[in-house]
Amino acid sequence: MIRQINNNNRLIISHIEDADGMGSVVLANVYFKGSIDYILAVIPEVSSILKEDLSKYEEIFICDLPLDKKAIEVLLNNEKLQKKVKHFDHHASELENNKYSFVNEVVDINGKLTSGTELFYNYLLSIDNVLSNDFYKEFVESTRSADVWDLQSNFYDMGINLGTILNILGPKAYINIFSNYVIKEHFYLEDLYIDIVNSAKENRDNYVKECISNVIITEYKNYKIGVVVSEDYRSFVGNAIAKKYIDSIDFALIINLHLMKCSLRCVKDDIDLGKIASEFESSGGGHKKAAGFYINAECMDIIMKFVNEYINSKKNKN
């Protein structure tokens, strides 16, 4: 968890793990001219944040974070807090929670997958047009297209580059940089960040190749899955595995033992990874082709089975 707390009367709580989580904070900083506090968190941490004394805040924005059962319970028991919260999330696995008035889960806009950043941006535009220029439209579209892997978008590559910058510089630096970026007619990257992206791409590609070479193919229920233990570039690794082994597996499982988290990726239309993630671990979820869950007592046995298979496979190769 990362906190930037000052004497402000607004708070934004956003996802710590990707550029979509950062995007809403950047927009909030620009729109409210820095007069907003932020907390970057993962899903299980939201309920504990909501239990804190948040009485000084007039508005609380929760972006790119589904509200799990514990967070919903906190809000159900605090009517004052409910009225302060504005929620912007896009995970299909959580749509049923829209039955609560304070939950706002939107998967697509006009048939196109959306993101937390885009939902929050549209909310800000509904207030006034301060951020309506092409610069911020393109920043939002870059963030959205990379987050939902919309390869048809003209801004997908820019979005991938933003993710690379975040991975290298970290959340605080990313937010600071793009909250204070020099606005031009169109969104762009300064030469320094282009150099960072180009340098990182070779390392990323080599890492992905190594992961692909270490994949094991095994079974989960009625599925064939490709499993790898990896700490970096989970989306790149997962999508590369899913494409490489498209005829052999139904989806890829990327196990991150450092974060104690698993990511699921697929390229097939007839599989819903959001539902599968919740089968592994009850609070898991996400999108149809990209989802995840945390490693805990509920799923530890099956995950360690896969880890042992992976280790034994590497031993046999050596």
Q: Which residue has the tokens 């031993």?
A: 315
- pLDDT reading at 308 higher than 80: yes
- What tokens does 299 get? 């799923």
User: Could you tell me the domains of the chain?
Assistant: 2-188 (3.40.50), 210-317 (3.10.310)
Tell me which amino acid residue 314 is: K
Counting residues of the chain whose pLDDT is more than 90, the rounded percentage is 73
Residue 63 host element (H or E): strand 59-63
Band (pLDDT 50/70/90 cuts) for residue 60 is: very high
Mean local confidence (pLDDT), 196-202:
88
End-to-end Cα distance, the chain: 39
Band (pLDDT 50/70/90 cuts) for residue 94 is: confident
Q: Are 29 and 175 in contact (CB under 8 A)?
A: yes
Predicted confidence at residue 112, as pLDDT, reads 92
Residue range 240-292, pLDDT digits in tens: 999 899 889 999 999 999 889 999 999 888 899 989 999 999 888 888 888 89
Of 200 and 159, more confident? 159
